């Protein structure tokens, strides 16, 4: 299964690619946006955990 933020981001990225290929650009855009924010959140939390 999908574990952690990076796994979820990869899952949403793959979903975005599939929906883009199928022509559902609205759903693909939303999935890509969610993946982008999950990666940003992961990076921020990783930096905070390294600093503490």
**How many beta carbons lie within 10 A of that of residue 20, not counting itself?**
15
pLDDT at 26: 82
Q: What is the pTM for the complete model shown?
A: 0.70
Give pLDDT, residue 48.
92
Handedness of CA 29, 30, 32, 36 (dihedral sign): positive
How many Å separate Cα 33 from the centre of its chain? 7
User: Residue 31, class by beta-carbon neighbours within 10 Å (0-12 exposed, 13-18 middle, 19+ buried)?
Assistant: buried
pLDDT (tens digit per residue) in 1-52? 567 777 888 888 888 888 888 887 788 888 888 888 888 988 898 899 899 8
SS3 content of the chain, % helix, strand, coil (to 5): 90, 0, 10
């Amino acid at each position: 299964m999908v574990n952690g933020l990076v796994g979820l981001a990869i899952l949403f990225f793959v979903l975005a690619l599939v929906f883009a290929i199928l022509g559902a650009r609205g759903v693909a855009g939303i999935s890509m946006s969610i993946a982008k924010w999950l990666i940003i959140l992961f990076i921020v939390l990783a930096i905070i955990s390294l600093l503490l």
